[in-house]
Amino acid sequence: MSEESKDYSIDEMMAVLMAREVRNDDVMIVGVATPMVWSAFTLAKLTNAPNAIYHYIMGNTFVFEPCQVSLLYLEMNTTRAYRFQNSGECTLESLPSDNLTTIEFFRPAQIDQYGNTNNICIGDWYKPKIRLPGCAGIADFSMFYSRGTFLYTPRHDTRRFVPKVDFISGVGFQNGNNPLCGGAGPQSVITNLAYLDFEERSKTMRLASLHPDIDIETIIKSTGFDLIIPNKIKNTKPPTKKEIKLLREKIDPLNIRKLEVLTGKEREELLSIIIEKELAMTNKIPLLLNS
Amino acid sequence: MPQTKLMDLEEAISTYIDDGDLIGIGGLSFWRKPIATCREIIRQKKKELSICTFVGGLDVDMLIAAGCVSEIRSSFVGMEVFGMAPNYRKAVQEASIKIIEETEASIALGLKASYLKVPFMPLKGIIGTDFPKIRKDIKEFEDPLGSGIKLMALPKIDLDVAILHVPYADEYGNGNVAGAVWLDDDMAKTAKKTIITCEKIVELNDMINLPGKAQLPMQTTKAVVKVPFGAHPTSCYDKYTFDALHIQKYMKIDFKDYKKKYINLDSHTQYLEEVGGSQMISNINLQTKNTSN
């Protein structure tokens, strides 16, 4: 076991927690514009799940080899490296065989205590206060993944954690019911403050572990409904030095994953730096990484 | 020999796109979008278009900003890591356009139903979401063959026109996609009319030798237009990636100014100069000396 790291940022903590969810026989769905998830899956490939397979939505391709995370050349990677390409409608099932399971991380704009999620709009659908981009395929798949669905948000606050979502575009445990369509329902929610799961009987969100240096009051204040708080509160196991080194030096040296966490000017500045660095590369094929 | 369908972009759009049409746009997000065609639609001031696309971005945002659109059907409209699609968001919040809320499956299966000439396709999904509340045309039903499984019926989507950009096409309307096809083939199979723009025209015999051959069939193609960098600022694998610097510019500039500077131009050559000429091309080019493809 590698030593625990003391020097890590929240995007790294979240990527490490996501990577730890991946199993060796998983198909890992890489969505569009989710570089933190892509980093996490690649970390899993290099550590606990070397046989997991990427399924890039961007291309509908199945790829085995891990490569460095890229902003400009994602398509190069998914298109050059694939062995098998699904047709359009196969996005609907994402399951190449019964022997494999699927893992996908959804990032909701709103989430309730039963893990129902919303990526459509804030306010009434007919007169939205804020129109969001849309839910893409979340409404299609969220109910029948046999390993369930995995959720994350780098902004744990009462705007995201609400008693009732304005539009259900991803189905959780509805009102505390059993999952629909043979799926396992939501499994965990990884945030900048904590690792959350769902209590078996009530299907209600529960604090599973607090990240280091976060206190219980912050969690309670940042959640818009009553979280189940266990009597004995665990601390999240921090990233190891090895995990951090892999993320920073091999998997994502340009810090593309941080785009998912930063906002405003800071984010725009990082974006410009990433673009500039990638444009300066002479080799436009993303670097293959050895597992 | 079949009839040639080569023509210029202006003629293709004025001949085959009418106000009020339901237009399918190929590609996905920032990848292989027919943006030169979108600019021509804007120049010709087409009106009241319904737009259907798997995942929309700059294409949808531009057409809305220019006032060409009355209705959007898409599973996602955004600008990826660059942010929200500004004009799309504004138009929906002001209710100046109508949304038909879609998912990946509802579009993929809607197109499939259309070319199979069936009224709907079944899906094991969407059940439990709020979609049925706002889509009165989708409906839950039980497997009529008796398995007891609950399914969702998704209605067909009949496109009037498909606008697609590909790296290679022949003059008879066969199109070859080097990377991911997404729903381009389904759109081409079912649209009443297809307009293909391409990077390069190849001979019919060369089409046979391209990997994947023709994924877009010639039957529905009405026009083939050669437009090198016709997807710019989105990508066209295996020629070029998306132009991140230009997309950053789009996000910062008011659309009126953008239109004046980059859309209301006399020629595509002038456009390529305005967006950076040879420096821009070397930035986005994928076919460097170091790559073998």
Report ipTM for this prediction: 0.93
CA distance B189 to B117: 11
What the block records as the tokens of B14 is 């004025």
DSSP B107: H
Cα–Cα distance measured from residue B64 to residue B68, given in angstroms and rounded to the nearest whole number: 6
In a domain, A5, yes or no: no
The answer to whether position A120 is within a domain reads: no
Cis check for the bond before B18: say yes or no (omega within 30 of 0).
no
Residue to substitute from B129, B131, B181, B238, interface A, most A β-carbons within 10 A: B129
Q: Is residue A207 part of a domain?
A: yes
Site of tokens 């606008």: B163
B70 interfaces chain A, CB cutoff of 8 Å? no
CATH assignment of the domain containing A61: 3.40.1080.10
Contact across the interface for B75 and A285, Cβ inside 8 Å: no
Task: Please check whether residue A20 lies inside any domain of the structure.
Answer: yes
Contact check, Cβ <8 Å, A73/B241: yes
For chain B, the C-alpha Rg in angstroms (whole number) is 19
- Among the residue ranges A94-108, B88-102, B176-190, the one predicted with the least confidence is A94-108
Residue A175 domain-assigned (yes or no): yes
Picking from A92, A139, A285, the nearest residue to B131 by CB comes out as A139
pLDDT at B283: 94
Contact A144, B124 (CB under 8 A): yes
- Give contacts of A282 with chain B, Cβ < 8 Å: 288, 290
Chain A residues in contact with B28 (beta carbon < 8 A): 32, 58
Question: Are the Cβ atoms of A180 and B84 closer than 8 angstroms?
Answer: no
Using alpha carbons, select from B83, B65, B37, B77 the residue that is nearest to residue B248. Answer: B83
Q: What is the pLDDT of residues A155-203, one digit of tens each?
A: 999 999 999 999 999 999 999 988 887 789 999 999 999 999 999 999 9
Query: For A53-108, how does the pLDDT look when each residue is reduced to its tens digit (9 = 90+)?
Result: 998 887 778 888 899 999 998 877 777 666 666 655 555 555 555 667 889 999 99
pTM to 2 decimals? Answer: 0.95
Domain interval for residue A201: 10-107+137-156+167-279
Partner-chain residue, chosen from B77, B112, B179, that has the shortest CB–CB distance to A75: B179
Contacts of A170 in chain B (CB under 8 A): 129
**Yes or no, beta carbons of A134 and B76 under 8 Å apart:** yes
Q: Dihedral sign for Cα A216, A219, B130, A98, please.
A: negative
3-class secondary-structure state, position B165: strand
Domains of chain B, first to last: 9-101+158-284 (3.40.1080.10), 120-155 (no CATH)
Q: Of B216, B245, B290, nearest to B34 (Cα)?
A: B216
* Nearest chain B residue to A142, by CA: B125
**A144 vs B286: CB contact, 8 Å cut-off?**
no
Summary mean pLDDT of chain A: 91
- The answer to the question of residue A190 being in a domain is yes
Nearest Cα neighbor of B76 from A206, A119, A148 is A119
* Number of folded domains that form chain A: 1
Instruction: Determine, yes or no, domain membership for A244.
Output: yes
Helix (H) or strand (E) holding A105: strand A105-106
Determine the pLDDT at residue A221.
Answer: 98
Tell me whether residue A127 is in a domain.
no
Q: What is the pLDDT of residue B21?
A: 98
pLDDT digits (tens, 9 = 90+) for B247-286: 999 999 999 999 999 999 999 999 999 999 999 999 999 8
Q: How confident is the model at residue B290 (pLDDT cuts 50, 70, 90)?
A: very low
Interfacial A residues in 41-100 facing B (CB < 8 Å): 58-61, 71-73, 75-76, 78-80, 85, 87-89, 91-92
Q: A257 is written with which tokens? A: 């994953």
- The residue of chain B nearest to residue A145, with distances taken between CA atoms, is B125
